Amino acid sequence: MTSYPEWWKLVFGRFTLEALPLHEPILVVTFIAVALGGLALVALVTWLKAWGYLWNEWITSVDHKKIGIMYMILGIIMLLRGFADALMMRGQQAIAFGGSDGYLPPHHYDQIFTAHGVIMIFFVAMPLVTGLMNFVMPLQIGARDVAFPFLNNFSFWMTVGGAVLVMASLFIGEFARTGWLAYPPLSGAAYSPGVGVDYYLWGLQIAGVGTTLSGVNLIATIVKMRAPGMDLMRMPVFTWTALCTNVLIVATFPILAATLALLTLDRYVGTNFFTSDLGGNPMMYVNLIWIWGHPEVYILILPVFGIYSEVAATFCGKRLFGYGSMVYATVVITILSYLVWLHHFFTMGSGASVNSFFGITTMIISIPTGAKIFNWLFTMYRGRIRFELPMMWLVAFMLTFVIGGMTGVMLAVPPADFVLHNSLFLVAHFHNVIIGGVVFGLFAGIAYWFPKAFGFKLDPFWGKLSFWFWVVGFYVAFMPLYVLGLMGVTRRLSRFDDPSLQIWFVVAAIGAVLILLGILCFLVQIAVSIMRREELRDTTGDPWDGRTLEWSTSSPPPAYNFAFTPIIHDLDAWADMKKRGYRRPLTGFRPIHMPRNTSAGVILAGLATICGFALIWYVWWLAALSFAGLLATAIAHTFNYDRDFHIPADEVLREEDSRSNLLTGA
């Protein structure tokens, strides 16, 4: 290794030219492709002279709808990166037999499966879920924006900052090789002395700040900003699931932050919280990380349950069956999600009584989840079902998720878990729940609310093509892993000795390719829909004959959402208003108070990201400078009193008149 002078270490910390992965052809080709794509994008925006528009209308926006859309875009971009990792893993496992080492060196493979888990959970599923909650929930409760608009913008850009750090690890240094939860002692300084675990720690800490603040914001919005007459038992089910989700976020993400902070101290300062000597205990880390980790699964799935409830009621043309039981089931799941974390480490010697308690609570939590499935089925019973794309996702979910639930109950039995733990059966179960539950639901939500966000529907042909590739691809990709798990094949291995196993991995790789086709069809669907937007235009604001308040606005909604705050008299507020012969007010408009855009959020998040990068590489002067800039910007923002403005009444009148003209034309 090249010896570097002291001034280099002072300026660049532990960064060296060897940290650039020039010896990894896969990474070099990836870097060139990303660099060319980035340059092409910059050139396109410059050619369109769109920098000013992007800065003023999107980057600095505090509009919950635009922030929700940006969350969704971030999630889709990171899906492409996270799924590329999945394809590389499946390709490696399909060919690494009979003395072949495959095409990935072990240290690279370990980084890939760690990055895949981190990206898919933190930077795909979380942004997509948060984006839908951000966009839809304020509209559903009749609010003009969220409770703290600036905080919303800041939360989003902090999430982007975390994603940037994780992506930077691909080309500068390395990522963690520990698995997505970074258990000690493997993640300690002794076993992972490089920058990989530090990228993990600071990327998650920065993104976690954004997620926590977003949770506080959305809880405050739901509790304090509902339209008159909308008491708790008149809230849409999606809003209920958003409330419970954000309660879980606020309760659990500080635990994650504290856990990662302790691990950071172990690595940076030399403390011994999670070592086996000097009073430390690695099992404390496992407990703490799963006290966050298992509620995190419900943070992802609960909003999706809300999406399915809205889809079922709308496309069956009737009120959701068992609304009260659906709400109580959601609350019960929220509480019970705190009482099951230990089933993730039954095999670690907690004792029979402890294992029995957590096995029983894990089985109990399946009861309210099962109740939801029956409610959706009874909503479909004798309903006038329209098999539009969101409804197709709901049916696929119910068939697929039941399999995931049953395998989960199997794993809840400690003796069975002793056999199946750390095998590919566990990988299949987890993906069964996350893909068959969360991802299917997110695609249902995107198809359902896309016309509300952009004013035109998604193209149905490419949507259905994507649907079938995803559903068939899921079964082809993950059913073989159930079989391999039952045969005792350990997860996280990059090569295998038994040639009889290869056919199962080849089938799983074919399934991954089918899912890739599903993702590509989804991207084509968006492109085709934009080109055909005039044919697919929604002029009514209510293309599905919806039942909740967001469908009472135009598509896309105006900046102020509602010219007059609606008055709620019943559950399914919009369906009730249509039934009563609701007429839109055409006169009497007043100026509307709105929050002003601000650049403080993106500047603060940018400084936090630079600070995180400097701490990863021990560039102490840059860390101190960026942290000082962070404090100075935050203090300066507190003196910014120009935070709001009024939309004039005549502008509101013009907006409402244009909608009237559309409705008349329709």
pLDDT digit string (tens) for 375-425?
999 999 988 999 999 999 999 999 999 999 999 999 999 899 989 988 999
Q: Which helix (H) or strand (E) holds 509?
A: helix 502-531
The average pLDDT across 532-559 equals: 93
What is the per-residue pLDDT for 8? 85
Comparing 29 with 70, the larger pLDDT belongs to 70
For the chain, the average pLDDT equals: 93
Spatial CB neighbours of 13, under 8 Å, sequence gap ≥ 6: 614, 617, 618, 619, 620
Spatial CB neighbours of 394, under 8 Å, sequence gap ≥ 6: 308, 311, 312, 315, 376, 444
What is the per-residue pLDDT for 21? 82
The average pLDDT across 11-26 equals: 85
Find how far residue 379's CA is from the centre of its chain: 28
Closest CA to 305 of 385, 247, 238: 238
**Bridge partners, residue 593, by sequence:** 646
Number of helical H runs and strand E runs in the chain:
22, 2
Instruction: Output the six-digit token pair for 354.
Output: 């402890």
Helices (H), 48-148: 51-54, 64-95, 106-118, 126-140
Instruction: Output the six-digit token pair for 42.
Output: 């910059």
Spatial CB neighbours of 85, under 8 Å, sequence gap ≥ 6: 112, 113, 115, 116, 119
Beta carbons of 539 and 665 less than 8 angstroms apart: yes
The average pLDDT across 460-470 equals: 97
What is the per-residue pLDDT for 593? 92
Q: CA–CA separation, 487 vs 505, rounded Å?
A: 13
Q: Strand runs (DSSP E) across 391-462, as ranges?
A: none
For residue 321, pLDDT over 70 is answered with yes
Q: CA–CA separation, 102 vs 91, rounded Å?
A: 8
pLDDT band at 578 (very low <50, low <70, confident <90, very high): very high
What is the per-residue pLDDT for 658? 87
Comparing 10-19, 120-129, 180-189, the range with the smallest average pLDDT is: 10-19
Comparing 584 with 212, the larger pLDDT belongs to 212
What is the per-residue pLDDT for 1? 54
Beta carbons of 594 and 650 less than 8 angstroms apart: no
What is the per-residue pLDDT for 395? 96
For residue 634, pLDDT over 90 is answered with yes
For residue 666, pLDDT over 60 is answered with no
Comparing 407 with 347, the larger pLDDT belongs to 407
For residue 3, pLDDT over 80 is answered with no
The average pLDDT across 207-218 equals: 97
For residue 571, pLDDT over 80 is answered with yes
3-state class (DSSP) for residue 251: helix
Comparing 22-26, 431-435, 623-627, the range with the smallest average pLDDT is: 22-26
Q: CA–CA separation, 212 vs 553, rounded Å?
A: 30
For residue 122, pLDDT over 90 is answered with yes
Burial degree of 532 (CB within 10 A; 0-12, 13-18, 19+): middle
Comparing 24 with 555, the larger pLDDT belongs to 555
Q: CA–CA separation, 167 vs 115, rounded Å?
A: 9
For residue 583, pLDDT over 70 is answered with yes
Q: CA–CA separation, 666 vs 95, rounded Å?
A: 57
The average pLDDT across 236-241 equals: 97
What is the per-residue pLDDT for 346? 86
What is the phi/psi pair of residue 603, to 5°? -70, -45
What is the per-residue pLDDT for 278? 83
20: left (phi over 0), alpha (psi -120 to 50) or beta: beta
3-state class (DSSP) for residue 594: strand
For residue 117, pLDDT over 70 is answered with yes
pLDDT band at 642 (very low <50, low <70, confident <90, very high): confident
What is the per-residue pLDDT for 34? 86
Closest CA to 452 of 520, 390, 370, 401: 390
pLDDT band at 218 (very low <50, low <70, confident <90, very high): very high
- Amino acid letter, residue 94: A
Helices (H), 146-228: 149-168, 196-224
For residue 664, pLDDT over 80 is answered with no
pLDDT band at 265 (very low <50, low <70, confident <90, very high): very high
Instruction: Output the six-digit token pair for 588.
Output: 């009497």
Q: Is the previous residue joined to 368 through a cis bond, with omega within 30 degrees of 0? A: no
Spatial CB neighbours of 167, under 8 Å, sequence gap ≥ 6: 81
Q: Is the previous residue joined to 185 through a cis bond, with omega within 30 degrees of 0? A: yes
Burial degree of 353 (CB within 10 A; 0-12, 13-18, 19+): exposed
What whole-number percentage of the chain has pLDDT above 70? 99
Beta carbons of 123 and 82 less than 8 angstroms apart: yes
Q: What is the pLDDT of residues 497-522, one digit of tens each?
A: 899 999 999 999 999 999 999 999 99
Q: CA–CA separation, 449 vs 587, rounded Å?
A: 29
pLDDT band at 665 (very low <50, low <70, confident <90, very high): low
What whole-number percentage of the chain has pLDDT above 90? 81
Other C-beta atoms within 10 Å of 490: how many? 11
Q: CA–CA separation, 142 vs 227, rounded Å?
A: 5
Instruction: Output the six-digit token pair for 304.
Output: 């999706």
What is the per-residue pLDDT for 13? 87
Comparing 123 with 10, the larger pLDDT belongs to 123
What is the phi/psi pair of residue 490, to 5°? -75, 145
Comparing 65-74, 169-178, 437-446, the range with the smallest average pLDDT is: 169-178
Beta carbons of 141 and 168 less than 8 angstroms apart: no
Instruction: Output the six-digit token pair for 310.
Output: 């809205």
